[in-house]
Chain A
């Protein structure tokens, strides 16, 4: 930074107030007023024109339209939705769909990206070359082109609904997506969820106890397998206690489409695979550079202390690599979330696509775009706050 004092170093003439532009303080104020003035003037010009245009075209303003009936269908939604519902609810469906694809996408992209990043550093020549080929190809092709490709792969190569492939009984694969049977609703699912919640709480306390014990006595506790046992075991006990229901909700061809079961639509498949494949290439580079940033001497030192390679990775290399990895990883998560708006191009009903339909139907462009931008700003902010908190937690504590 330039020295803080430069613009204020020369005090204005004592006694009288000088308005000369050669006075740095006056100049600073002058420039700021100038810039703010220009911004306000431009803003006023735009707002004035907009209001003028809106009244001429007699377009309503305000968010009152959110209460009105949406009267358009949405292909897939996490909550109940009907065309008779309001625009507000339709938009909520879109937000949930965006969150769904982003969260699943972030998890899968992290897993795939980490695998590929580590593979690029493999001592196995074949694996390293294959991983770097993947990275070089995928990240140099526009994501939208990749989405179109994945979408076409399902919608053009799969048979129509009538001739759906039926590889396993109850599973159908067609242009309309992959239909799989799911266990039908039963009170036991609620009990299992409750058991899982108890298991999570138990694991938290167990970890705390195990850590305290290790600090007191030096005895390590097999926390990994114990937690796994609790998390799987308790729900399983609840399931068996509830009578172990095996009824399935099997998809059936009804009219023009399958009904029942769970569907992986081609739109969701394309947007998810596209985002994961694309973002994983970038995450792979982030992971690779993070691992390379850890001095090899750290690994050697750990070996010299007799720490085995799994623990070296977990306790020595990874904590240091994460410091380098987390900030750029955050931007990749944000990118994935923002890129999920490409869903519009293939018809997955994310928030942009639903807001777009809304603004086309109501003509309320400003509100529509403001809702898209506002939602993304909130999501971006949320991810940054969480990742910054995590980053601070793992940051190097120095003197």
Chain B
């Protein structure tokens, strides 16, 4: 190129390779840059290191070294201190499956596996095809058959006996899959040009979002029976499920509205120019783009919704948190709340954390798709 023009004051020949100065690479430099770069950072580092040094050994000691392994009776646990993992092994099946008949507990176990498999499959973008909906319908039917029984030689199990993790998963998965189409309609309604429809959607969304979920659950448990004609009765689980659907629909509608608002005006105009009617324009042009944009906020709604299923304990259903609390009320095992809450806390955490990691990954992937 034009290098030869400028060679006058540039030394020719290559500069010999040298190691970078020792104060910019290596562990010492890393320490200096990340922990001791200013005097107050150095002070804070030392303070925190000291606190961690004070806190971590006793914590590990409680968790592992002095912990009583599986099989130690509670009296011994109480005397020795340290975590009592017998509680977990002893109460595992109750916490996981609630009062489901003991010999039939393989059924909720398979339910858990099916639901997790469905969710995992839906996370893979290659499976985002119409047949996925059919797989979901088949999966949820299988779940219903397994849990209720009464067909295929399975004994009938009333849903008042359901509990534990399958209940948590079913409440959230069924709730979300029913609330999703409703929320799309609500989001479209909120942005509709027809004033009556807009007012109804806005009122519904704001009303539900303005009150705590507990009040909806109350409404479900004490008011729904009054709403229905005499003689018709829903059981508690179904009522809670309806409350969750109403709640999730309002929150998801807002996530989708965000996506709808992000679609440039030109897309709407293009749909108009093609002569598409409202539903064609929405179904073929606007919604596919809007939903793709809304996926990360939707996943965040899923996470908070999954955590909120724990509130059913308030109207007397035994989800995962409910069974753990019930296990703690066993007089023989009183006081082992740390073990119990740690155990189910880890379960909730694994689900929520993986969902949040997934949503971050998806956000990156989708953004990559938009880049030109």
Contacts and interface: CB of A to CB of B under 8 A. Distances in A.
B196 A137 contact: no
B193 interface: yes
Interface in B223-278: 223, 225-230, 265, 268-269, 271-272, 278
B106 interface: no
Interface stretch (B16-24, B117-125, B140-148, B348-356): B348-356
Contacts of A153: 337
B194 A31 contact: yes
B344 interface: yes
Interface centre among A123, A341, A380 (most CB of B within 10 A): A341
B313 A3 contact: no
B34 A144 contact: no
Contacts of A31: 194, 197
Contact of B223 (A3, A35, A52, A365): A365
B227 A50 contact: yes
B20 to A, nearest CB: 20
Given A123-B34, A124-B44, A342-B214, A2 B200 contact: no
Interface stretch (B87-95, B108-116, B303-311, B363-371): B303-311
Contacts of A372: 211-212, 215, 218
B214 A341 contact: yes
Given A124-B44, A156-B337, A369-B219, A4 B313 contact: no
A123 B268 contact: no
A339 B210 contact: no
Given A352-B212, A376-B215, A142 B310 contact: yes
Contact of B321 (A126, A148, A368, A373): A148
Interface in A342-392: 342, 344-345, 352, 356, 359, 365-366, 368-369, 372-373, 376-377, 380-381
Given A144-B311, A338-B211, A365 B222 contact: yes
Contacts of A49: 226-230
B314 A345 contact: yes
Contacts of B38: 123
B41 interface: yes
Interface in A114-150: 122-127, 130, 136-137, 139-145, 148-149
A6 interface: yes
B126 to A, nearest CB: 27
Interface residues of A, number: 60
B321 A36 contact: no
Contacts of A365: 218, 222-223, 226
A123 B41 contact: yes
A156 B335 contact: yes
B195 interface: yes
A338 B37 contact: no
B212 A2 contact: no
A148 B341 contact: yes
Given A28-B194, A344-B314, A1 B356 contact: no
Given A53-B230, A156-B335, A4 B310 contact: no
Which of A124, A139, A376 neighbours the largest number of chain B CB atoms within 10 Å of its CB?
Answer: A124
Nearest to A363: B222
Interface string A35-61: 110010000001001101110100000
A159 to B, nearest CB: 13
A273 to B, nearest CB: 14
A274 to B, nearest CB: 12
Contacts of A6: 193, 272
A366 B44 contact: no
B310 to A, nearest CB: 4
Contacts of A141: 307, 345, 348-349, 352
A366 B223 contact: yes
Interface string B315-334: 00000010001001000001
Contacts of A123: 34, 37-38, 41
A152 interface: yes
B348 A338 contact: no
A393 to B, nearest CB: 24
A7 interface: yes
B182 to A, nearest CB: 14
Contact of A124 (B41, B229, B278, B337): B41
Contacts of A33: 196
B299 to A, nearest CB: 13
B193 A2 contact: yes
Given A126-B35, A142-B310, A341-B215, A148 B348 contact: no
Interface in A87-125: 122-125
B302 to A, nearest CB: 12
A377 B348 contact: no
Given A33-B196, A36-B200, A153-B337, 20 more contacts: A1-B268, A2-B193, A3-B269, A31-B197, A35-B196, A35-B197, A123-B37, A124-B34, A124-B41, A124-B44, A140-B352, A141-B349, A148-B337, A341-B215, A359-B222, A369-B215, A369-B218, A369-B222, A372-B218, A380-B210
Interface of A: 1-4, 6-7, 28, 31-33, 35-36, 39, 46, 49-50, 52-54, 56, 122-127, 130, 136-137, 139-145, 148-149, 152-153, 156, 338-339, 341-342, 344-345, 352, 356, 359, 365-366, 368-369, 372-373, 376-377, 380-381
28 contacts: A2-B268, A2-B271, A3-B268, A3-B269, A32-B194, A32-B196, A33-B196, A36-B200, A123-B34, A123-B37, A126-B48, A127-B45, A130-B48, A140-B352, A142-B348, A143-B307, A144-B311, A145-B344, A145-B345, A148-B325, A148-B337, A149-B337, A365-B226, A368-B218, A372-B211, A373-B207, A373-B215, A380-B210
Q: Which 5 A-B pairs have the closest CB atoms?
A: A140-B352, A125-B34, A365-B222, A152-B337, A32-B196
